Structure 1
Amino acid sequence: MTTIRVRLTLIYSGLFLLTSIVLLVTVNLLLRQALNTRIARWPGGAAAPQAPVVQGVPAGRVPPLPALVNDVIGYQWEVTGLTIGVLTLLSLVVGWLVAGRMLRPVHRITATARRLSLSTLHERIALAGPKDELKDLADTFDAMLDRLERSVEGQRRFIANASHELRTPLAVQRAAIEIGLPEDVGEIRGTLLLHNRRAERLIDALLVLAQAEHGLDGRGPVALEEVVRLAVAEAAQEGVTMSVRARPYLVDGDPVLLHRLVTNLLDNAVRYNHPGGTVEVSLAGGVLTVRNTGPHVPGERLGDLFEPFRRLHTTRGQGAGLGLSIVASIAKAHGAAVHANPLPDGGLELVVTFAR
């Protein structure tokens, strides 16, 4: 597939060569006609006049005028063909340079669009130059970025306000339950506390999901192997044997979100497991793999794993169904890919591949 620069070069060169060929052919034809007309008007017609001997050359040796005209026109056509060849090469070079110069603003717009992310929405193209179609396109793109930046900032403020407004009443409610209800009221106190904690976890998961989907505010080098070992040490075992093999690997990202990614992977591996089962965690070359034993996962249901509020099995400690959707959002924010593979004997293999 040819680029627009190549197409513009061919168009410029084609138009230039077409006009040049028409001009040269027209000049040659008019020259032939003019010479033939002049010869026809010559006294004695087309025959050459008798000329005296010049420097030892007899008059009979002088070529007739029609033959001389044919020689001149033939030479003219040879020069025309050579000229067209040179003009072809010259037009291609000039057309390529001119097309590149005209497309320079488009390349600048493309480079800016590729570089932009939610953390660099403050950048603008700010194309200078005459008020033409390309500058109008750049200004329109800048105006769109202004609207997008305002929208993202508004959503970030909403997330921050929602985090405070939703967590505060739940904390007050939990304190009221723990302080106001004595422990001897039976199951009511435990049930209320259980639902309170579930609501807190759900709100926390939704806020993390929203933060991950809106990109990273800042990046920095993160030792992923340390994050993995810390998450494994903090993970609830619940009768599951966990092993870890992690090699050093640096990730440019957010350490809090990366810790949440690993924690959710481990929580999913422990939650959807058999009593006495195993969880294997490995990190090598930027590929984080978590394998667990557990129930069989149908291959056609793998896509549902990363959708919010989707659960394939009913388990102890039922979650909100947001764990792997949060993993997918955090991975996407870090430029990583995540996919799942069912294991033949049951269980699941979750793989997160970070860009190198």
Structure 2
Amino acid sequence: MVKLRGGTVRRRFTILYATGYLVSGVVLLSLTYLMSGTQVTTRAPEQIPTGPSTLPAAQQRIRDLEGQLSAVHAQQDHQLVVGSLIALVVTAGLSLLLGHLLAGRVLRPLRLITAATRRITAESLDQRLAVAGPADEVKELADTVDGLLERLEASFVAQRRFVGNASHELRTPLATMRASLDVAVAKPEPAAQTLALAGRLRTELDRVDRLLDGFLVLARAEHQHGEALTDRTLLSLGELAEQALTARAADITARTLTVDSAIRPDAWTHGSAVLLSRMVQNLLDNAIVHNQQGGWIRISTARDATGARLVVESGGRLLDQDEVDRLGRPFERLGAARTGSEESTGLGLSIVAAIVTAHGGRLSLRARREGGLSVTAALPAATGPRG
């Protein structure tokens, strides 16, 4: 994987630039050394106007001068080589620094594109890179990414619109079917088979109705991703949890579940009352439906520096964390034990995940070491009415 920020590409550019400079410097130094090694020939005077007694002394003097001249040339060559090597080392270091700066300058547009692309998610596909500058390869890459984001946004919007419209339109034939069943059952002395069939059909219609309701809530929550919630208000997660427990008291009693609540009233947040109420209800329903007879549920709310939190835990069998991580997706379930209930649509936790994301929060699903599931919905905290 190519890493742009201080990573592989910049390092490669720096090394290539410095290596090219170093090779050029070595070639130049070699040529300088070869040219400086040219021998200087000396020529003795054609006629030395001296007598026989001074000739040996003159010849010795000439040899001494030639030796001194050779020593000077050798010293000059040595100084030239040493100086060239020092200059080569210094300039090589400077070339590394200059190459690093030039590589950073060249890669700066790519780093900006990478950072902007990382900020764009499925919830913010309306953002664009909009890179300005000359029509070069970097501009072409940015425009290509913008085109891809535009196509993805159109696809996501069309998908959410279709789910919402289809779920809404299917309510009409469902209502017609339910009315037809009521008419058939309301006839004088209906047959026993008619009553049994009507009961089964009404149960299935209720399941389809819950499924469509889940689709509508999921479509609305996903539509709010990256957009402002129009019905945002100050809410207490503790009050929503109390309301959900009261509404599901009959279901809890029917399964003889023990409820341990640690609900605090100061877990305030801003959000949609409809969506957040549905979030709490779905978490509690998930703990009730996918629990063992005579099991337990622990529900708590809290507020700290990280935000307002709602935690719902339930007992049960040991779960695989890899499978639990997928429960936030639509229609994901854990084995036959979690699909046996006729009340399960497979959308409960995916709706919760969409609602939490729409409110700028974070959903955590964790398989308990002792068995069962722990779900934490963390939302941005808000100041309550009493500060």
TM class, shorter-length: 0.7 to 0.9
Question: What are the superposed Cα offsets for residues 301-339 of structure 1, whole Å, 9 maximum, x if unpaired?
Answer: 982782626441576663223323444555566563432
Contact 2:237–2:269, Cα closer than 8 Å, also in 1 = no
Number of aligned pairs? Answer: 335
Contact 1:331–1:352, Cα closer than 8 Å, also in 2 = no
Contact 2:232–2:272, Cα closer than 8 Å, also in 1 = yes
- From 22, 25, 31, the equivalent of 1:20 is 25
Could you tell me how far 1:250 is from its partner in structure 2?
Answer: 6.6
Could you tell me how far 1:95 is from its partner in structure 2?
Answer: 0.8
Cross-structure match for 2:208: 199
Cross-structure match for 1:282: 300
Q: 1:150 to 1:257 in 2, by over 3 A?
A: same
Determine the C-alpha separation between the residues in 2 that align with 1:80 and 1:252. Answer: 71
Aligned ranges 1:41-190 → 2 under 5 Å = 42-44=42-44, 64-178=68-182, 181-182=185-186, 185=190, 186-187=195-196, 189-190=198-199
Contact 1:302–1:340, Cα closer than 8 Å, also in 2 = no
Determine the C-alpha separation between the residues in 2 that align with 1:167 and 1:69. Answer: 103
Determine the C-alpha separation between the residues in 2 that align with 1:9 and 1:249. Answer: 53
Q: 1:78 to 1:20 in 2, by over 3 A?
A: same
Cross-structure match for 1:303: 323
Question: What are the superposed Cα offsets for residues 98-141 of structure 1, whole Å, 9 maximum, x if unpaired?
Answer: 11110011111111111112343232222233333222211211
Cross-structure match for 2:52: none
Using the size of structure 1 for normalisation, the TM-score is 0.77
- From 251, 254, 259, the equivalent of 1:242 is 259
Could you tell me how far 1:281 is from its partner in structure 2?
Answer: 0.7
Contact 2:263–2:301, Cα closer than 8 Å, also in 1 = yes
Could you tell me how far 1:94 is from its partner in structure 2?
Answer: 1.1
Cross-structure match for 1:54: none
Cα root mean square deviation, aligned: 3.8
Cross-structure match for 1:350: 374
Could you tell me how far 1:62 is from its partner in structure 2?
Answer: 9.4
Contact 1:289–1:352, Cα closer than 8 Å, also in 2 = yes
Contact 2:238–2:267, Cα closer than 8 Å, also in 1 = no
Contact 1:228–1:262, Cα closer than 8 Å, also in 2 = no
- List runs of 5+ in structure 1 lacking aligned partners: 46-57
- Secondary structure of 2:127's counterpart equals coil
1:5 aligns with 2:37: no
Could you tell me how far 1:157 is from its partner in structure 2?
Answer: 2.3
Determine the C-alpha separation between the residues in 1 that align with 2:172 and 2:10. Answer: 59
Contact 2:25–2:88, Cα closer than 8 Å, also in 1 = yes
Cross-structure match for 1:263: 281
Determine the C-alpha separation between the residues in 1 that align with 2:91 and 2:235. Answer: 63
Contact 1:118–1:215, Cα closer than 8 Å, also in 2 = no
- List runs of 5+ in structure 2 lacking aligned partners: 46-60, 381-387
Could you tell me how far 1:168 is from its partner in structure 2?
Answer: 2.6
Using the size of structure 2 for normalisation, the TM-score is 0.71
- Secondary structure of 2:124's counterpart equals coil
Question: What are the superposed Cα offsets for residues 144-171 of structure 1, whole Å, 9 maximum, x if unpaired?
Answer: 1121122122213212321321123223
- Secondary structure of 1:87's counterpart equals helix
1:229 aligns with 2:239: yes
- Percent identity over paired residues: 36
Q: 1:315 to 1:144 in 2, by over 3 A?
A: closer
